[in-house]
Amino acid sequence: MNLVDSHAHLDFPPYDGDREEVVARAREAGVCLILNVGADLESSRASVELAQRYDFIYAAVGIHPHDAQTLTPDALEELRALARRPKVVAIGEIGLDYYRDLSPRPNQREAFEQQLALAEELGLPVVLHCRDAMEDLLAILRGWKGEGVLHSYSGGPGRLEEALALGLSIGISGPVTFANAHRLREVAARVPLDRLLTETDCPYLTPEPHRGKRNEPAYVRYVVESIAQARSVPAETVAHAALENALRLFGIPNPLPPTTTTPRSS
């Protein structure tokens, strides 16, 4: 299978000792595209550097809601410059997090809106983080006309139709493999195939059978297999759709020769 990990953090410290080996294992596992996603200015810079280093890694740049208070005018200007670098294909990881509340909620909303405006200005999609804040996040997005993905979707089946109605794609990550993740598997079964993305959020959210250990892009295979089981389709069908969707959403050239693509089954 040709796999895509549409949300990774390979620049984070857990990979400092073996980053090259992790990237090599991803290639060996069939991962042909990784989107490395920034969470602050430092990690956004590092994501851009990784994208320059590896042909199958692309970058997103942005300020996570945990660090919303750091989005000064100077920081926003640096994000604008980073977003214009080669192989930067999205603004993210941006959004709202009312679970940890590490930044005041008004600051989170302001930083979110500023970065949505930046994405609109540059014609880039967004990578969205949302935890315990779906009502406010969707309300803000109703006034925005761009494209994006709700990464590591946790809104349950009840908010899925609202998210889809806004044109958003849905990112599914490791928790879909957990034994008690019935609602997430229901979401995985209901998302239109042309709106589905597969991701790891590594080093977090490690899927079974490696739960409790550090996550890495090679493990996106388990996410694909769990989604396929929930949809009662071959894993290759999910993998192919996720790759096509990522290429389209992020405007990335197809890395595969035409003869290596897998026809989508009905």
**Mean pLDDT, rounded, of the chain:** 95
For the record, the structure tokens of 139 come out as 């309300």
- Indicate whether 257 pLDDT > 80: no
- Among 257, 258, 201, 261, residue whose Cα is nearest residue 237: 261
The reply to whether 266 falls in a domain is no
Q: What is the amino acid identity at position 1?
A: M
Question: Euclidean distance between the first and final Cα of the chain, in Å?
Answer: 17
Is pLDDT at 264 greater than 50 in this prediction? no
| pLDDT tens figures, 71-120 | 999 999 999 999 999 999 999 999 999 999 999 999 999 999 999 999 99
Residue 60 β-bridge partners: 37, 90
Q: Is 95 exposed, middle or buried (0-12, 13-18, 19+ CB in 10 A)?
A: buried
Is pLDDT above 60 for 132? yes
CA distance 231 to 19: 33
Give the C-alpha separation, 155 to 6, whole Å.
19
What is the percent of the chain where pLDDT is above 70? 97
Residue 125 lies in a domain: yes
**Total domain count for the chain?**
1
Residue 26 lies in a domain: yes
pLDDT, position 263: 44
Distance CA 216, CA 146 (A): 29
Phi, psi dihedral angles at 154 (to 5 degrees): -135, 15
**What are 31-72's pLDDT values in tens digits?**
999 999 999 999 999 999 999 999 999 999 999 999 999 999
Burial of 227 (0-12, 13-18, 19+ CB in 10 A): buried
- pLDDT at site 265: 44
Amino acid at 161: E
Residue 140 maps to which CATH number?
3.20.20.140
What confidence score (pLDDT) does residue 259 get? 52
Is residue 61 in a domain? Answer: yes
Label residue 266 by pLDDT band (50, 70, 90). very low
pLDDT tens per residue across span 190-224: 999 999 999 999 999 999 999 999 999 999 999 99
Examine residue 264 and state whether it is found in any structural domain, yes or no: no
**Cβ contacts of 132-140, under 8 Å, gap ≥ 24:** 132/97, 132/98, 132/99, 133/95, 133/96, 133/97, 133/98, 133/99, 133/108, 134/159, 136/96, 136/98, 136/105, 136/109, 137/95, 137/96, 137/112, 138/162, 138/163, 138/166, 140/109, 140/112, 140/113, 140/116
Q: Can you list the pairs that 99-103 forms with residues at least 24 positions away whose Cβ atoms lie under 8 Å?
A: 99/131, 99/132, 99/133, 100/66, 100/131, 102/65, 102/66, 102/67, 103/65, 103/66, 103/67, 103/68, 103/69
**pTM: predicted TM-score of the whole model, two decimal places:** 0.95
Please report whether residue 174 resides in a domain.
Answer: yes
Is residue 261's pLDDT more than 70?
no
Whether 156 has a pLDDT exceeding 70, the answer reads yes
In-domain check, residue 78: yes
User: What range defines the domain where residue 196 resides?
Assistant: 3-255
- Do 7 and 218 form a contact (C-beta atoms < 8 A)? no
Residues 175-196 have a mean pLDDT of 97
Provide the percentage of residues in the chain whose pLDDT is more than 90. 94
In a domain, 215, yes or no: yes
- Band of pLDDT at residue 250, cut at 50, 70 and 90: very high
User: For residues 143-176, b (16+ Cβ closer than 10 Å) or e, as one string?
Assistant: ebebbbbbbbbbbeeebbeebbebebbbbbbbbb
